[in-house]
Amino acid sequence: MAQLLLFSLFQLLSLAAMASQAAHPAYDDSPLCAVSTDAELTADIISSKSVKLEEYGNGRIIDITHAYRPDMPNFNSTDSIGMVVSLRESMANGSLYNLSELKIVVHTGTHVDAPGHMYQEYYEAGFDVDSLDLVVLNGPALIVDVPRDKNITAEVMESLRIPRGVRRVIFRTLNTDRKLMWKREGDTSYVAFTTDGAQWLVDNTDIKFVGVDYLSVATFDDLIPAHLVFLKSREIILVEALKLDGVKPGIYSLHCLPLRLVGAEGSPIRCILIK
């Protein structure tokens, strides 16, 4: 109890510190320049104003969803995602209207995993994204910074001292510092949960919402086993590739809504934080 209280005080203090900072909408909607090499692209993007906290209403609302840019990385691939929206009918070609089509791998960009992603029996039983609990996806959430020199192991999880009763946690890692979601190529050296880290969370916390800042909640080396640990109970919801650029650790009201894709084991998801 005392620990929980101290923890809350600390969070309130850090929230107060945040509130005193000058807040202004940081989003620059000018298109990113088309450049030829990855090095140039990365340098260009890192200097771009888009890689910033995106806040609205004097900082009341923070968008933690990545925009679907054609140059966004694909998991474990040298190709970026490319165009996910394209015109099927266009006024420029004489049509009465413009009409676009969306074509996307459901685990692209900021997205959610359903239990059927890695358990065939859950897939067959219909545990798709439309079965995900909106109560888990919406409510108070803690954003924590994790140590930058390790993956999220059992030892790291223990060191974070996340109190029992906390149900939603978003883990901000080295991935955000490295701006991995702003690279054109998928990077398999991202930070995420090891299998023992996932097991520690399942065994020792009440966390049901796990959010991370790259395309997978599990490290590349532990890709399947760590996912299996999380998805086994069907109680934990995994949201991947959240946009945490400039977001301060603390407590927020989290709101996430997946698309109602019947039969799909994943979905793009829009997540925002409200202070």
Ligand X SMILES: *[C@@H]1O[C@H](CO)[C@@H](O)[C@H](O)[C@H]1NC(C)=O
* Distant-in-sequence, close-in-space partners of 23: CB < 8 Å, separation ≥ 6: 55, 58, 59
Instruction: Find the part of the chain contacting ligand X (CB under 6 A) among 13-21, 90-98, 117-125, 156-164.
Output: 90-98
CB 167 within 8 A of CB 59: no
How far, in Å, CA of 60 to CA of 54, rounded?
11
223 binds ligand X, rule: CB under 6 A? yes
Smallest separation (angstroms) from ligand X to the CB of 248: 22
Q: How far apart are CA 254 and CA 10, in angstroms?
A: 19
Q: Does 93 bind ligand X (CB under 6 A)?
A: yes
Stretch that binds ligand X, among 48-56, 83-91, 111-119, 205-213 (CB under 6 A): 83-91
Cβ 227 vs Cβ 246: under 8 Å: no
- Shortest Cβ distance from residue 111 to ligand X (Å)? 16
Instruction: Provide CB contacts within 8 A for 96, sequence distance 6+.
Output: none
Q: Which is nearer to ligand X, 171 or 252 (CB)?
A: 171
Closer to ligand X by CB, 58 or 189: give it: 189
**Residue 268 CB neighbours (<10 A):** 23
Residue 124 engages ligand X in binding (rule: CB under 6 A): no
Residues 136-155 that bind ligand X (CB under 6 A): 149-151
DSSP summary character for residue 59: T
Question: In angstroms, what is the minimal distance from the CB of 55 to ligand X?
Answer: 28
For ligand X, the binding residues (CB under 6 A) are 76, 87, 89-93, 98, 149-151, 174, 189, 191, 219-221, 223
